[in-house]
Amino acid sequence: MIAGGEFALIRRFFAPLAGPGGLELRDDAAVLDIKPGRSLVVTVDAVIAGVHFLPDDPADLVARKALRVNLSDLAAMAAEPLGYLIAAALPGATDEAWLEAFASGLRSDQREFSIVLLGGDTTATTGPLTLAVTALGTVETGRALLRRGARPGDRIHVSGTIGDGAFGLKALRGEAGSVAEGDRQYLIDRYRLPQPRLALGRKLAGLASAAIDVSDGLAADLGHICDASGVGAVVWAERVPLSAPARAVIAAGSGNLAAALTGGDDYELLFTIDPGRAAALKEVCEELRLPVTEIGEVVSAGPVRVIGPGGKELALGPGGYRHF
């Protein structure tokens, strides 16, 4: 295993990643000052080998995905990330090369997102590799984006493309059918390395009426907005933005739109916005060079309905990833 035990492991692989409030990971907790006028935003999400990533996925990508699914939660609240803590339960077979790659993945994303490591905990486990990341950010007080603000008549928008994560997992499992190698790789990359939409989330504060990140599946996550807001929603299936590789999987008969809408792991932002703010939203998208697509409308009640070509409602089956 690891020479020198837990403390040597922390000193060697994790302490170099610690930021100012992390006190070199030498203390019992991190100490952080929050700027006046800003509120703290905090979230935790665990990823487990065999559930959220494949046990032989590269360690640097495992680290970055564990971090990014949490940054995506901050993005959905319009927060600016500060740092993170990580609790790692490591199987006995974890070796130094794996930890080296894992730490280098964290390092690279710390640079990309201007965040620092604030604390953590490492333990040996007899079970699968389990990583619980707590992400901290801040937002101007009173400006956090919530799920509960959607109003009937608001338009439903989503960033980027939907279904790539689900089809990427299919591709990794050899179930994507006869698609070009480039398409296959594109989808796998999208599954392994989500892009938290932090810049978009920041711009949506004061603009969107409700927001969520798409982790459980677009249909299920839209359902969360509807539940929290006490509204219903209609989605036009043909407007749901799909990447060319995702279309190729569907054309090859290895996937369909329902799978894209319920597969999850997209980490795009799904939000509602008053139609009167369309021009302001267009400006934001152009500034960020990030495509955002209007896919439906908030209605006063009812479940999330997805209307397919010809006006027929799409049956989605159990919506979203179910852990239990």
Which helix (H) or strand (E) covers residue 121, if one does?
strand 116-125
Please state, in angstroms and rounded to a whole number, the distance separating the CA atoms of residues 82 and 198.
12
Q: CB of 79: closest distance to a copy of itself in angstroms?
A: 7
* Residue of 47, 54, 50 lying closest to 68 (CA atoms): 47
- Is 125 or 256 the residue whose CB approaches a copy of itself more closely? 125
- Is 141 or 185 the residue whose CB approaches a copy of itself more closely? 141
- Is 148 or 239 the residue whose CB approaches a copy of itself more closely? 148
Please state, in angstroms and rounded to a whole number, the distance separating the CA atoms of residues 57 and 49.
9
Q: Is 29 in the site for a copy of itself (CB under 8 A)?
A: yes
**Which range in 59-67, 139-147, 172-180, 275-283 contacts a copy of itself by CB under 8 A?**
139-147
* Cα dihedral sign, 156-64-113-132: positive
Q: CB of 59: closest distance to a copy of itself in angstroms?
A: 17
DSSP-derived 3-state class of residue 162:
coil
Q: Is 324 in the site for a copy of itself (CB under 8 A)?
A: yes
Among 12, 15, 48, 294, binds a copy of itself (CB under 8 A): 48
Contact map string, positions 93 to 122, toward a copy of itself, x by CB under 8 A: -------------------------xxxxx
Q: Is 31 exposed, middle or buried (0-12, 13-18, 19+ CB in 10 A)?
A: exposed
Among 115, 132, 218, 261, binds a copy of itself (CB under 8 A): 132
The contacts of residue 87 (CB under 8 Å, 6+ apart) are 120, 121, 122, 123, 131, 132, 133, 134
Torsion of CA 126, 87, 115, 50, to 10 degrees: 40
The answer to whether 98 touches 132, Cβ cutoff 8 Å, is no
Q: Is 39 in the site for a copy of itself (CB under 8 A)?
A: yes
**Which range in 140-148, 182-190, 253-261, 277-285 contacts a copy of itself by CB under 8 A?**
140-148
Q: Is 28 in the site for a copy of itself (CB under 8 A)?
A: yes
State the residue for tokens 């739109």. Answer: 257
Q: Which residues bind a copy of itself (CB under 8 A)?
A: 1-2, 5-6, 9, 23, 26-34, 36, 39-46, 48, 50-52, 72-74, 76-77, 79, 85-87, 89-90, 118-128, 130, 132, 134-137, 139, 141, 144, 146-148, 212-213, 224, 227-228, 322-324
